[in-house]
Amino acid sequence: MTDLNASNVSPLATLPGANIFLIGFMGSGKSHWGKIWASVNQLTFIDLDEMIENKEGKSIASIFETHGEDYFRRKEAEALRSCEGLQNTIVACGGGTPCFYENMQWMNDHGLTIYIASTAEEILQRVLNEKEKRPLLKKLNEQELLLFIDQKVKERAAFYEMAKVTVMSGLLEDDSLPAIISTTTI
Ligand code: S3P
């Protein structure tokens, strides 16, 4: 049995494409855990939203305002595909990434997709203070926000559930990644 914690063995060594895509709703902890797991396992971390912001020279909020959501989704699909060829990398996707341009299929073909699932209440608590940077949320009050999150999570479930592994956000820890990887046989 491979010791995934041995310092000279990358936990990604067993994965085709050797990349991990973290998916899940806004505020589910994709960037938070992506950064921690990359650091603990000596992997590279990439945040897809940040990649788009750097390429466009604008914040996500400003891209939505200036060019609209369709434009953003095209840039998002392009940014995702530019990850082809990366190795030993954890990519934190945007909450909507799996739902457009067959991105979910592409991610499943190019690495390990991990769905970080959360309840609507957990998501609400995490996004309440960060609404401004999220164009889909910023105009909603707390009550509207909970309804929106609940509806959108249900709407997106079919995409999120295509992930190869699903984990509950509340159970995650700094050293969870090797154990998560070992639950999959891809
Ligand atoms: C979005 C999620 C955001 C960002 C954009 C759209 C979505 O990313 O990509 O605001 O459609 O759920 P985070 O999930 O990192 O907040």
Q: What tens digit of pLDDT does each residue of 22-79 get?
A: 999 999 999 999 999 999 999 999 999 999 999 999 999 999 999 999 999 999 999 9
Give 165's strand partners. 114
CA 176, distance to chain mean position in Å, is 16
**Helix, strand or coil, per DSSP, at residue 19:** strand
Query: pLDDT tens digits for 150-169?
Result: 999 999 999 999 999 999 99
Query: In angstroms, rounded to a whole number, what is the distance separating the alpha carbons of residues 140 and 79?
Result: 28
Q: Which of 58, 60, 63 to mutate to test the pocket of ligand 1 (most atoms within 8 A of CB)?
A: 60
pTM: 0.91
Q: Which of 33, 64, 134 to mutate to test the pocket of ligand 1 (most atoms within 8 A of CB)?
A: 134
- Gap from CA of 49 to ligand 1 centroid (Å): 8
**φ, ψ at 22 (rounded to 5°):** -95, 125
Ligand 1 contacts (CB < 6 A) are 26, 49, 60, 94-96, 134-136
The one-character DSSP state at 93 is P
